[in-house]
Amino acid sequence: MNHDYERVRDALAYLETHAAEQPSLAELAAQAGLSPQHFQRVFRRWVGISPKRFLQLLTLESAKAALARSESVLDASYAAGLSSPGRLHDLFVSLEAVTPGEHKAGGRGLVIRTGVHDSPFGHCLLALTERGICGLSFDDDPACARGRADLRADWPLARFVEDPAATAPLAARLFGAASEAEGPRIDLYVRGSNFQVQVWRALLGLAPGQLCSYGDLARWIGRPGAARAVGGAVGSNPVAWLIPCHRVVTRMGAFGNYRWGPLRKQAMIGWELARAEAGPGAEGAGRIRRPSRAVGQLAPG
């Protein structure tokens, strides 16, 4: 699974640096050391659609259309009082924040079990406590050293235990087959300021295939002038994917930065848009025209 993602990531990286040339499918395949036919199979295995169709989903027009669609739906939801747990891939997600006393304790007395697993977006480090998931990060490094350092910074006095057997069922549920997605509510246990937690709770209202801007998010939490502060809270999210900060883009539809890499963010958005467009139970599909964050358009051939 990681190998397929690496090919997708490398294709996006090549397109970014050669956008003006609009490389063909054959050129992209050659960069990956594959024949065009094999390259097509890699994309279809990973996302269920062709490379050209996938890249068409990562266009400025596509991102703007997704923003517009999501805005009207989410405006109505938040006006009606959207609450957690949020819904993600048919999973119920509940977010619990540490108390002021627990925040001050820095994780003293807490046991955090960690494990690295494959995912559609590279290596995934999962961190689990008795209260819920306290960390989920992605990395190209199999050791996930950066994610481990972030965990220790967030929970400096906790005891860390490497226990992939404990985290494997969660990884299978999050990234495995549809049959593995069934189960009880997923609990998150996070450490952050009141403002950060407010932003993270709001993010739980974003469904796969929905995008919002930083300004939209600020407005939904009742802080319309705080888009920059919202961006900081989004960037500090400790639980990737489940708290879907990758679904936040700029008002103009550009994908922007991402704590775990902008290319990974593009891949995640395209992956979700393909499935959202195809509908429940489908392998994915796509549509559109010119890429959002300097991702080049495929030339014919």
Task: State the catalytic residue, choosing from 124, 134, 144, 245.
Answer: 245
What is the distance between the alpha carbons of residues 293 and 262, in angstroms, rounded to a whole number?
9
- Return left, alpha or beta for 224; rule: phi > 0 is left, psi -120 to 50 is alpha, else beta: alpha
DSSP of 24-57: BHHHHHHHTT--HHHHHHHHHHHHSS-HHHHHHH
Q: Is 245 tagged catalytic?
A: yes
Are 116 and 125 within 8 A, CB to CB? yes
What is the distance between the alpha carbons of residues 241 and 148, in angstroms, rounded to a whole number?
17
Give the end-to-end CA distance of the chain in Å, rounded to a whole number: 27
Are 100 and 110 within 8 A, CB to CB? no
Q: Give catalytic residues, as residue numbers.
A: 245
